């Protein structure tokens, strides 16, 4: 279905300001306390913004999502098929974080809902945390700190090491893994990594051919992989046994990547000298007491509540990046940076023209483009671009339309295409 046509508005000069309709009619729901910079950016565009510092219970979320055009979340809100099926007006989802596994991307695509995230903004924060955890583990800082707090003052050098000259194995050499590589290199740490793709190493890092080769070689193992069926429990009992005795494991990626009971056993047996875990297979929806994990009480273990990207600097960057993507998609149809749509953008039409912008999400099946071209064939197409990603096709076209009657005719023709998913017309 197309969005309301509305009244055309033009300025006297400059690029044409495309609007879906009055911006004050756009409703945005923000959950889990995204940065105020991002909130201010959305409000500055005239949108109605409802802000919540925490995730909402499922029933409340379903009630709220029914009327909104955009929703912003972080990692705790789960936008499942059931929840999204109630989102009748939803155009776009903004994930104010790196991961998008909390969103049913396939169902969102089938409903013509674009999804954006922030894959770069918190990379430095996570990399810095991992490096700090490495140093803390090598010096047994956690247990010594607890001892002094309890009045047990024990100064010692045994089992305390510099990280200089040690070997770090990075599993997943993406944005975070590569930044960690550069930081570790500057500390004199030898870096080895494993990735499913062949990647140009930064600095003195060396790519090894197998996961087992990295595990058996390095003193520290740091995980930086996405949550996928192929990465679930990728570090289990077998892989942990492959690690060097006395080595350390750090997981600041996704909680399902490590078999937690197997890790606890390796720590209690002394096979591993320590571990740092920032993510867990199941994490609470809200802060507070009562969290349990088999790793509690294990020696030389640092447990943190998913804070890898939780710095003021990272959250400010994420807030601006994702909010900007939401504004561009709502106001112009730009999909650059989308994780489930093809990335499409064209320059704004000239101010003063009778050009409207047609945005169409459709099923990527044979024959649909023929129907779209037939629907717009009576009009002058100034610019047109169409691309597809998996099952989703996305068309952006600037078209000269002389009258509101012609506009309605074109809109009706587009809505008559059975393979169409969502059509918007911007002025």
User: Which residues does the annotation mark as catalytic?
Assistant: 254, 283, 306
> Which residues, including other chains, have CB under 8 Å from residue 60's CB and lie 6 or more apart?
none
Q: 201: closest CA among 177, 231, 167? A: 177
In angstroms, rounded to a whole number, what is the distance separating the alpha carbons of residues 57 and 63? 10
**Sign of the dihedral through C-alpha 98, 33, 345, 90:** positive
- Residue 362's φ and ψ, nearest 5 degrees, are -145, 165
> DSSP 3-state assignment of 272?
strand
Cβ burial, residue 221 (10 Å; 0-12/13-18/19+): buried
CB atoms within 10 A of CB 44: 10
CA-wise closest residue to 112 among 302, 426, 393, 413:
393
State the Cα–Cα distance between residues 278 and 129, nearest whole angstrom: 10
Residues 6 or more apart whose CB falls under 8 angstroms from that of 242 comprise 212, 215, 216
Q: Are 55 and 32 in contact (CB under 8 A)?
A: yes
User: How many angstroms separate the CA atoms of 352 and 16, rounded?
Assistant: 7
Read out DSSP for 27-55? EEEE-S---HHHHHHHHHTT-EEEE-SSP
């Amino acid at each position: 279905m197309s969005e309301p046509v509305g009244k055309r508005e033009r300025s006297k000069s400059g690029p044409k300001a495309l609007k879906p309709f009055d911006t004050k009619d756009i409703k945005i729901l923000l959950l889990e306390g995204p940065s105020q910079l991002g909130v201010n950016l959305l409000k500055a565009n005239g949108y109605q913004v409802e802000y919540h510092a925490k995730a909402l219970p499922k029933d409340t979320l379903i009630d709220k999502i029914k009327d909104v055009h955009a929703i912003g979340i972080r990692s705790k809100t789960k936008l499942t098929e059931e929840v999204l099926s109630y989102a009748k007006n939803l155009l776009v989802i903004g994930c104010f974080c790196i991961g998008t596994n909390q969103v049913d991307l396939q169902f969102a695509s089938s409903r013509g809902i674009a999804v954006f995230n922030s894959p770069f903004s918190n990379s430095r924060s996570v990399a810095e945390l991992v490096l700090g955890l490495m140093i803390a583990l090598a010096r047994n800082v956690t247990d010594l700190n607890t001892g002094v707090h309890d009045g047990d003052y024990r100064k010692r050098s045994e089992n305390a090491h510099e990280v200089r000259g040690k070997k770090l194995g990075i599993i997943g050499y993406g944005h975070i893994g590569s930044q960690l590589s550069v930081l570790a290199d500057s500390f004199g740490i030898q870096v080895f990594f494993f990735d499913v793709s062949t990647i140009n190493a930064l600095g003195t890092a060396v790519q090894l051919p197998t996961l087992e080769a990295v595990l058996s070689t390095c003193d520290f193992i740091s995980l930086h992989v996405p949550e996928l069926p192929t990465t679930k429990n990728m570090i289990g009992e077998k892989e942990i046994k492959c690690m060097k005795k006395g080595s350390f494991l750090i997981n600041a990626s996704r909680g399902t990547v490590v078999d937690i009971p197997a890790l606890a056993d390796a720590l209690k047996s002394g096979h591993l000298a320590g571990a740092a875990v920032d993510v867990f297979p199941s994490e609470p929806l809200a802060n507070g007491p009562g969290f349990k994990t088999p790793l509690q009480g294990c020696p030389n273990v640092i447990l943190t509540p998913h804070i890898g990207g939780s710095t003021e600097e990272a959250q400010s960057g994420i807030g601006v990046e994702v909010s900007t993507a939401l504004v561009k998609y709502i106001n112009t149809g730009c999909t650059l940076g989308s994780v489930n749509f093809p990335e499409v953008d064209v320059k704004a039409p000239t101010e003063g023209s009778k050009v409207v912008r047609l945005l169409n999400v459709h099923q990527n099946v044979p024959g649909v483009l023929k129907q779209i071209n037939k629907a717009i064939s009576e009009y002058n197409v100034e610019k047109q671009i169409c691309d597809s990603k998996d099952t989703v096709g996305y068309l952006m076209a600037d078209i000269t339309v002389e009258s509101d009657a012609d506009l309605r005719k074109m809109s009706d023709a587009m809505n008559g295409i059975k393979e169409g998913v969502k059509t918007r017309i911007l002025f």
